[in-house]
Every structure is written in structure tokens, then in C-alpha cells.
Amino acid sequence: AEQQVRICIADNGIGMSESVRSRLFNPFFTTKPIGKGTGLGLSISYQIITDGHKGTLSCQSTPGQGTEFAIDIPIRHCSKL
């Protein structure tokens, strides 16, 4: 099995609904008012993690209990440091 590094970021906020959570990584999706956000931040982050580092970015959220993002990136051994 490939070794990985996992980074978790969690809060104890209001959480989010499944309909919001399922669209988080879509380009241009935002819950902010018009003109207050581009909706590109998580989409670009997802692309960098999955395409650039061959990892995964996931989100678990329960309304009223908070949200947790997890980043898993494979460990690659380099011959040069």
C-alpha cells in the first residue's frame, strides 16, 4: 500500500447541507453574495491536489456539527533533496 500524508482541517461551525457540500469543488460555485466571491478557490485547490500531487481532497459536514476537510497526498521518495 502506498504511504500517504493526511492533513485534516475541521471546525465546529454550523456545517453545511448535502446540496452545498456536493457542489463545493465545482468551478464558480459560491454561497457568497454576487460580487463577493469567484467560487474558484476550492475548485483550484482540488485540481492542484488531485492533478498536481495525485492526492485527494474530501469534505465531510453535518449541519449543526461542523465541517472537516481532509487532504491525502502520496509520499514520494526523491533521490535528490
Q: What is the pTM of this model?
A: 0.82
Residue 33, pLDDT score = 82
CATH number at residue 62: 3.30.565.10
Residue ranges making up the domain that contains 20: 4-74
Grid coordinates belonging to 60: 465531510
User: Which of 74, 56, 76 is CA-nearest to residue 8?
Assistant: 56
In a domain, 45, yes or no: yes
- Would 79 be classed as within a structural domain? no
Tally the domains of the chain.
1
Question: What is the pLDDT at residue 9?
Answer: 97
Work out the number of other CB atoms within 10 angstroms of the CB of residue 21.
16
Examine residue 80 and state whether it is found in any structural domain, yes or no.
no
Residue 81 domain-assigned (yes or no) = no
pLDDT tens digits, 10-39? 999 999 999 999 999 999 888 888 888 888
What nine digits make up the cell of 73? 497526498
pLDDT at 80: 61
